[in-house]
Amino acid sequence: MSCKLEDRRPDWKSYALGELDARARQEAESHVAACADCQDELAGLRVTLDAMATLREEELPRRIAFVSDKVFEPRWYEKLFLRPSFAAAAVIAAAILVHAFVRPVGAPTNATAQVDTRAVEARVTAEVTARLQNEMAAAVNTAVTKAVAETEKRDDHRTALLLSASDRRYSDAADFLNKQVTRIYALNTGAGVR
Amino acid sequence: MIFREVEDRDLIAKARQGDVEAYNLLVSRWEKRIFNYLLRLVSNREDALDISQETFLKAYQNLRKLDDPARFSAWLFRIAHNEAFSLLRRRKPESELSEPRPRDFGGRLLPIELSLAVESALKVLSEDQREAVLLKVYQGFKFDEMAEILEIPVSTVKSRLYTALDLLKATLAPAVLRKGGLA
């Protein structure tokens, strides 16, 4: 039996891989309920993907970590410009200076007052923006520090547990070995037998 | 819980300002995925670890060039892809000598045997096909993200992936069905 839709049959690979939108998915599901050919194709794909899911992720032989290296750190002026508040303030300050020195010749005198008002508004906006961004940066900084500390604490705890389990296993193995040696000695010498 | 408290974009912002500890936290979130992707791609643990380290080093050095922190995963996998294919190109003549063949598993498929069958079937695919499977099936990327990582059209992504799935189905499905399903 072959699918009656032929070239217009649903894209079962996209379906199985979760790439169909809701409508196409619904149409495909309605069709497959009554099409043995498509049922076979979908079943084969599902078996394949289920088999592939048995492949487990492997652990890294050792963790990847970096240490602070001056070579890769941004320079002081780069750091300043990486802070959005500083960059914004610098751009606004530059704009005010340019406007002050390059204003049109013959402009009406009352323009000076207008420029000053704008400059004050810009400065206030810049200060408020800078303050907000500083607060946000401080909050993120605190959260990152906390997360790093928690990760380290969790790693320490896990290491302690592993060491403790390892000690226990070693102790059990030593006990078992001692008992075995005592038993063999007793069997060989006749001591303690019956 | 820790992942909800601090988003990747916050760690990226801190790392961009030279905070190595923030970057190490970011690495710890992604290293296993990157390592496993590379391990299946280059089929060698030491090479996979070396390329993983190289990938994270390059990512750190170029973090300021990342335009949209929300695209960090695709960007990181793009770096890993470039590093892996650079190695694969260097060792091409050697790998061409030994073409892998799918293994035949005679008895009932135990989970470990099924894993080996999958590993064996993946190795039969071409590098491009295998990478498409790794990114989609094991890393869960969407077609458009894969196109971004591999710098190819979505149509090519689908073509590689579909051919790979047909080959894997031809190898794995009969073996599993013949042995009465997954053990």
Domain boundary assignment for chain A: 6-52, 75-137, 163-194
Whether residue B94 has pLDDT greater than 60: no
Q: Do B169 and A45 touch (CB under 8 A)?
A: yes
Q: Do B114 and A68 touch (CB under 8 A)?
A: no
Give the residue from A133, A148, A83 showing the smallest Cα distance to B11.
Answer: A148
Range with the poorest average pLDDT among A29-33, B95-99, B122-126? B95-99
What whole-number percentage of chain A has pLDDT above 70?
80
Write down all domains in chain B, each with its CATH number in brackets.
1-98 (1.10.1740.10), 100-183 (1.10.10.10)
Q: Do A64 and B172 touch (CB under 8 A)?
A: no
Preferred mutation among B20, B40, B64, B166 to probe A, highest tally of A CBs within 10 A: B20
A81: number of Cβ within 10 Å: 12
pLDDT bin (cut points 50, 70, 90) of residue A74 is low
Question: What is the reported pTM?
Answer: 0.63
Whether residue B120 has pLDDT greater than 80: yes
Q: Please write the tens of the pLDDT for every residue from B124-134.
A: 999 999 999 99
Rounded to the nearest 5 percent, the helix, strand and coil shares of chain B are: 80, 0, 20
Q: What is the mean pLDDT of chain A?
A: 80
Whether residue B47 has pLDDT greater than 80: yes
Contact residues for A118 (Cβ-Cβ < 8 A; gap 6+): A99
CA B10/CA A185 separation, integer angstroms: 66
ipTM of the complex model? 0.81
Please compute the mean of the pLDDT values over residues A145-157 and round it to a whole number: 83
pLDDT bin (cut points 50, 70, 90) of residue A193 is very low
How many CB pairs (< 8 A) connect A and B? Answer: 129
pLDDT at A115 (0 to 100): 57
